[in-house]
Amino acid sequence: GAVVSQHPSRVICKSGTSVKIECRSLDFQATTMFWYRQFPKKSLMLMATSNEGSKATYEQGVEKDKFLINHASLTLSTLTVTSAHPEDSSFYICSAPSARGYTFGSGTRLTVV
Amino acid sequence: GNSVTQMEGPVTLSEEAFLTINCTYTATGYPSLFWYVQYPGEGLQLLLKATKADDKGSNKGFEATYRKETTSFHLEKGSVQVSDSAVYFCALKSNYQLIWGAGTKLIIKP
């Protein structure tokens, strides 16, 4: 139980386009979703916290207009990287609190060319 | 601020070798400490945790002891297997947030 399905696992996009990453809680309700980013050889950094039905809370230094987060239902949260640039290339992971603790998606490797 | 430092990988060992992955932390108060594992193509999974000083977390043959005096939470396993090949993350919980180490890739050769 307590599975978070994250898609896509890998995506390559052209500079200037937008990319949407989805995280779905398959067998539990995720009222909160944490979105992380990981740079090579660096720690996972919390970008924002989304709560179902309300605006996301962004960490300092994270551009809310660039990283659009929507948490429209108890089972779906999305992160859209708008007008992507090569420096947005990174590994993005979502996580939701569950009865087992924190349940993580498998991550999305974004490459912007 | 709070931070977690873990040894840089990759760590390459032969099957049945002894494993230690070092993790040290900086935190105010008394955080909970965690080890997560990410197998290839899968999401992060909680491996073990400890919530207070001198607690020992254990799972699947892995152990880690919460050492307040050295601010450490080193991961150990007496005899590793090829199936243990994965990326291991050390983390601490501060308020509602998890603070992460950079991850250590472990490669076990048969």
Q: Is residue B2 over pLDDT 90?
A: no
Quick one: tokens of A12?
């390559």
Look over chain A and give the mean of its residue pLDDT values, rounded to a whole number: 91
Is the torsion defined by CA of B56, B58, B61, B66 positive or negative?
Answer: negative
Averaged over B10-19, what is the pLDDT? 96
Averaged over A4-30, what is the pLDDT? 94
**Residue B7: strand, helix, or coil:** coil
Cβ distance of A41 and B44 shorter than 8 Å? no
Cβ distance of A106 and B43 shorter than 8 Å? yes
Cβ distance of A43 and B99 shorter than 8 Å? yes
Look over chain B and give the mean of its residue pLDDT values, rounded to a whole number: 92
Chain B residues with CB-CB distance to A43 below 8 A: 4, 99-103
**Cα distance between residue B15 and residue B55, in whole Å:** 28
pLDDT tens for each residue of A68-97: 999 989 999 999 999 999 999 999 999 998
Averaged over B8-27, what is the pLDDT? 95
Chain B residues with CB-CB distance to A41 below 8 A: 8, 102
B42 touches A: beta carbon within 8 Å:
yes
Considering only CB atoms, A43 lies closest to which of B4, B43, B46, namely: B4
**Cα distance between residue B65 and residue B58, in whole Å:** 9
Considering only CB atoms, A43 lies closest to which of B44, B96, B100, namely: B100
Q: What percent of chain B has pLDDT over 90?
A: 73
pLDDT tens for each residue of A35-62: 999 877 677 888 999 988 888 999 999 9
pLDDT at position B42 is: 75
Q: Is residue A1 over pLDDT 70?
A: no
Closest chain B residue by Cα to residue A94: B43
Q: Is residue B41 over pLDDT 80?
A: no
**Cα distance between residue B110 and residue B98, in whole Å:** 34
Averaged over B63-79, what is the pLDDT? 97
Considering only CB atoms, B43 lies closest to which of A45, A46, A104, namely: A104
pLDDT at position A93 is: 93
